[in-house]
Amino acid sequence: MRIEWLGHACFLLTGRDGLRLVTDPFNEQVGYPVPRIQADIVTVSHDHFDHNATHFISGNPVIVRGTGDQSIKDVSIKGILTYHDKNQGRDRGPNTVFMITLDGVTVCHLGDLGHTLTQDQLAALGRVDVLLVPVGGTYTIDPQEAAGVVRQVNPVVAIPMHYKTRYINFPIRPVDEFTRFYDNVTHAPYFEATAESLGTPLRIIVLDLAHVR
């Protein structure tokens, strides 16, 4: 599986057979170039403009929202209820964490997670190969809390998302406030998640912004 970062919390996951899954597409208000691409599946963690712009994704994709287990075109998807804040959703509403298994690799997309995970939520996650974790704070967990969630989940690879860049004006923090907690940090244009690439120990991979069509 190839993982590419399209900006903010939006990723493109491409399977070995060409299946495409997009997470949390955003609209023009965010500031990144809007990904206008084809996909088979789109996951939406919550209905805010910077995560739910499914109308930009062509190809008549299956849109996945909310909790529960389903299998779509050889992809297993599990949605787990979490919250967009530390107040059980009373401030910003619910947030769905998605477990996505494709080509034998399990990716966990945390959406706009606003709190550390409970033991029940961790049990529901199970084994995670690649963790896509928000790190910018304000609307999500902050860099230090994100490092704590990485410890909780214990993935093989963690890829930060939802942080300040030159494209956006949101009052969130840059990625280096998260990566400073780690020694094993690499930058890459994409990540090929295979059995061979998923070794130990934990690696932090900061992805370049991809321009995919």
Q: What is the pLDDT of residues 22-54, one digit of tens each?
A: 999 999 999 999 988 999 999 999 888 778 899
**pLDDT at residue number 50:** 77
Domain harbouring 91, CATH code = 3.60.15.10
Q: Average of pLDDT values for 56-67?
A: 97
Whether 12 contacts 61, CB under 8 Å: no
109 contact partners, CB below 8 Å, separation of at least 6 = 9, 11, 23, 24, 43, 45, 97, 98, 100, 132
Q: How many domains does the chain have?
A: 1
Tens-digit pLDDT profile for residues 107-155: 999 999 999 999 999 999 999 999 999 999 999 999 999 999 999 999 9
Assess if residue 212 is contained within a domain. no
**pLDDT at residue number 213:** 66
Assess if residue 91 is contained within a domain. yes
- Domain span at residue 96 reads 2-207
Amino acid identity at 1: M
Assess if residue 75 is contained within a domain. yes
Assess if residue 164 is contained within a domain. yes
Assess if residue 123 is contained within a domain. yes
What tokens appear for 174 in the block? Answer: 């840059």
**pLDDT at residue number 10:** 98
**pLDDT at residue number 19:** 98
Assess if residue 213 is contained within a domain. no
Confidence class of residue 200 from pLDDT cuts 50, 70 and 90?
confident
Specify the range with the lowest mean pLDDT, choosing from 48-52, 60-64, 66-70, 109-113: 48-52
Assess if residue 25 is contained within a domain. yes
* pLDDT of 8 above 80: yes
Assess if residue 113 is contained within a domain. yes
What tokens appear for 135 in the block? Answer: 């790190």
